A and B are shown apart, each in its own frame.
Chain A
């Protein structure tokens, strides 16, 4: 019973919130209140997680764990960001520029790297996954839609063929919607299992 009580409280709260969500015209003031609680809780959780992260990295440095230099860089960057953020204020233009000067080039470099990795993965697709209906349709459709969406194929002489191409270009959206409906159903079922305590019951 001791273990079931939190599950029951969580399930009842979840069901009430679900019902309140669907009847928002009548329940929006209460939903706003609960949302505020969630924001406060998430913020506190964030502070706790940051404290835990900093303490762990300090412990790594003290113990001389392999790769502790990364921890040192992390602590240094964290302290500098917090100190300057508190001193200058988080809206300070120079502070924001300094952060963007570090973040933007790193993120751009990573994006470039990701493009290369994805390209190499596409080339290696058939070697790693083998030849199957799934891999052939995956690779084939990726190529076809890449070619079509780059706009290389233009049939200005025929209005009808252009309409056909436009229709084919919409196919990935249709496929994605189908997948999203499936994922939505899966998420719904998972949520209901959690709400009714079935996941906790399995533990």
Chain B
């Protein structure tokens, strides 16, 4: 049996450290913090868009990214499902149903379950239709080509792009801007974040994407997650700086 590699051991140590910090933060944060972490701007925009579309009686479009399996090995689209769950739970009773599009079969199936679950929780399963959540197409361009015609429909009140994106998807933002349709991008992909930032679309930056705070900013769960992430960042930054110093001084080979 070959030995466990050093990289795997370091990764396991980081996971262990994250679990320990989560536990410490969970146990020590029993009361609401005096200075709570602020909500993430892009997620606040999603909340505002949800209210606006509800008031105007228009539908929300939700694009869930390229997928969980196959071409994409990232877990970014799990966040898009979490976002879908939050958005759906608050828009089930809207005049127009929220429409979701996925770029992958597995994601589309899970998305259908999420949508159905939202209607079930609202005790309105008779309003659920399978075409509320569709697979747009496989691959970046096929998926994009399904979203773009949907933007032109007058009954749509806005588009939320969540999940694994590519810089190419800035075309969607450009069309939405020309149609004066509000659009918000929540993605973990750095290149897509840069492209959407340049286009003027509200976008999550860096690791913000992994803390979906829609309507949850005041909740203890969000505050604890934000605190854990902050501590992890501090510890890792200190570890990196220490490693650099040790390397420069010749202590580390």
Binding site for B on A (CB under 8 A): 18, 22-26, 38, 41-43, 45-50, 52-53, 55-56, 59, 66-67, 70, 106-107, 110-111, 113-114, 117-118, 120-122, 124-125, 128-129, 138, 176, 179-183, 185-194, 196, 198-199, 201-203
Stretch at the interface among B54-62, B90-98, B209-217: B209-217
Instruction: Determine if A192 and B18 form an interchain contact, defined as CB atoms under 8 angstroms apart.
Output: yes
| Contacting residues, chain A, for B152 (C-beta < 8 A) | 67
Pair A203/B4 contact, Cβ less than 8 Å: no
Q: What is the bound-complex CA distance between A185 and B79, given in angstroms? A: 14
B250 neighbours in A (Cβ, 8 Å): none
Using C-beta atoms within 8 Å of the partner chain, give the interface range for chain B.
35 or more
At the interface, yes or no: B128 with Cβ under 8 Å from chain A? no
B residues lining the A interface (CB < 8 Å): 1-4, 8-9, 11-12, 14-15, 18-19, 22, 68-70, 74-76, 78-79, 82, 85, 89, 102, 104-106, 108-110, 112, 121, 130-131, 134-135, 138, 141, 149, 152-153, 167-168, 170-171, 174, 188, 190, 194-195, 197-200, 206-211, 216, 219, 221, 225, 228-229, 232-233, 236, 240
CA distance A1 to B63 in the complex (A): 32
Residues of B within 8 A of A181 (CB): 236, 240
- Say whether B108 contacts A49, CB under 8 Å: yes
Specify the main secondary structure of chain A where it touches its partner: helix
Given A107-B141, A110-B168, A182-B206, decide whether A190 and B79 contact each other with a Cβ distance below 8 A.
yes
Whole-angstrom CA separation of A41 from B19 in the bound complex: 30
Complexed CA–CA distance, A28 and B199 (Å):
45
| Given known A-B contacts A121-B199, A189-B229, A176 and B236 have beta carbons under 8 A apart | no
Q: How far is the CA of A22 from the CA of B135 in the complex (A)?
A: 33
Point out the residues of chain B lying under 8 angstroms from A125, CB to CB. 198, 200
Contact between B4 and A42 (Cβ–Cβ < 8 Å)? no
Closest Cβ neighbor of B17 among chain A residues: A188
The verdict on A182 contacting B207 (CB below 8 Å), with A124-B200, A203-B85 known, is: yes
> Taking CB as reference atom, which chain B residue is nearest A194?
B78
For the complex formed, measure the closest distance between the CB of A13 and the CB atoms of chain B, giving whole angstroms.
Answer: 15
Cβ A47 vs Cβ B206 within 8 A: no
Q: Quick check: A118 and B106 within 8 Å, CB to CB?
A: no
- Bound CA span A111–B171, Å: 10
A18 engages B206 (CB within 8 Å):
no
Contacts of B2 in A (CB 8 A): 25
Q: Which of A38, A107, A189 has the most CB of B within 10 A?
A: A189
Say whether B198 contacts A122, CB under 8 Å: yes
**Other-chain contact of B135, A18, A52, A70 (Cβ < 8 Å):** A52
Q: Is the CB of A202 within 8 A of B221?
A: yes
B131–A185 CB distance below 8 A: no
Residues of B contacting A196 in the complex (Cβ-Cβ under 8 angstroms): 22
In whole angstroms, how far apart are the Cα atoms of A45 and B105 in the complex? 5
Would A42 and B105 count as touching, CB distance under 8 A? yes
Question: Distance in Å from the Cβ of A63 to the closest Cβ of chain B?
Answer: 11
What are 27 residue pairs bridging A and B, where the CB atoms are less than 8 Å apart in the complex? A22-B4, A23-B4, A24-B4, A45-B69, A45-B109, A46-B106, A50-B105, A52-B134, A56-B130, A70-B149, A117-B171, A128-B199, A181-B240, A183-B206, A183-B209, A185-B232, A186-B210, A187-B188, A187-B207, A187-B210, A188-B232, A190-B78, A190-B211, A191-B78, A192-B19, A192-B22, A203-B121
